[in-house]
Structure 1
């Protein structure tokens, strides 16, 4: 009825990604799991990818109706077999990654290969597959790559990991130019340290030193990363393209 206004708490707030088809890699745990929850909450029709079946089964119970794909993204051919026949998506979040810190001279071939295969080759492979589908469908799309602050600032023991994340940033910038003619935006989010299973091996003293060197004196949370991903996926910020979006509390500004 005209002239009657519902209280704010009773108004229906549209879900920002309602009906959008989204795929996220590395969704089984850590930051990826939180991003998956955020996309689901915003109404996305979600497909989640992880190499760990148990994590996907748990996620499926938490988020009824999602699709799950279990594949190790380090395996180029298996990834193409698993993802190559999927219908086109509107959104791709490349979150899957692997990292280990340690002295550069002690970094083994196995760890180096793991980081290169997952962080660089895995991202390239998945992005080729999914953006090819976006182009074929002709509806455009949005890609967000989860990178790291380590690509912007030297950190002790992070040489190989930082190199792979610098590659992700370069991929992001170049694809933003190359795919823009297909109405596909590509950005990255570059968080500082977030406490996850992948980072728990980092000594507490090093984490505390990072916190004290951060102007905000705060450590980042997975929820903050997820909210930034949602921001970059928002169609109302369509001019944000090719950006490496730092989430570091001002660390790299000092």
Structure 2
């Protein structure tokens, strides 16, 4: 399974390398794609832990393959976009980490390797965050901040699921619970910030209301973890459903940012 994923990824990389350079690339799309790298850093770790905990393994294998291909595609796009030296430097640092992370993510999940995997996932997250901020500053577009914030929400939803799975697997890494609680709280604050934005359209407001309703339902399942009663399949399912809504929300903000240029 993992060898097949690697071959698929390499073929996609070769094909994407033959594509013509994109013209007139959008700063808002660059923020979205760099932000997507944040999310994928957590999603890949989540799928690794899904396989390790025997949670919807077939789905996890498919998500892992697609996520790795997504990182490769976004990296190619951002390499063509890189607007200045600072952005190029940040992209190169993230790419170096990605090569190490990809290699480990494609191995069979093992408890003894989980600490290193989570460390690389966090490093790629941090470097991708730095890249997003540099692109946002370069754009000078206020609406690009909303693309960033919405994109960070989708990352947080994957991070929450990843940390939940790590706790359910009873990994020995320190700080899992505090990191989980911090991610849940940040998601709450981010959702409030987006709901209060005066730039929201009627469509965005409606989408945010649906996300808020589903989030409340998903959060109710977290309380079971307090009693060490984990429901990973439920958390993974709600995480994926929310991710689809957050992807659409981020695209809506991207279009809003494009119209504001």
Q: Which has the higher strand share?
A: 1
TM-score scaled by length of structure 2:
0.34
Structure ranking higher in helix proportion: 2
Bigger Rg, structure 1 or 2: 1
Q: Which has the higher contact order (CA 8 A, sep 6+)?
A: 2
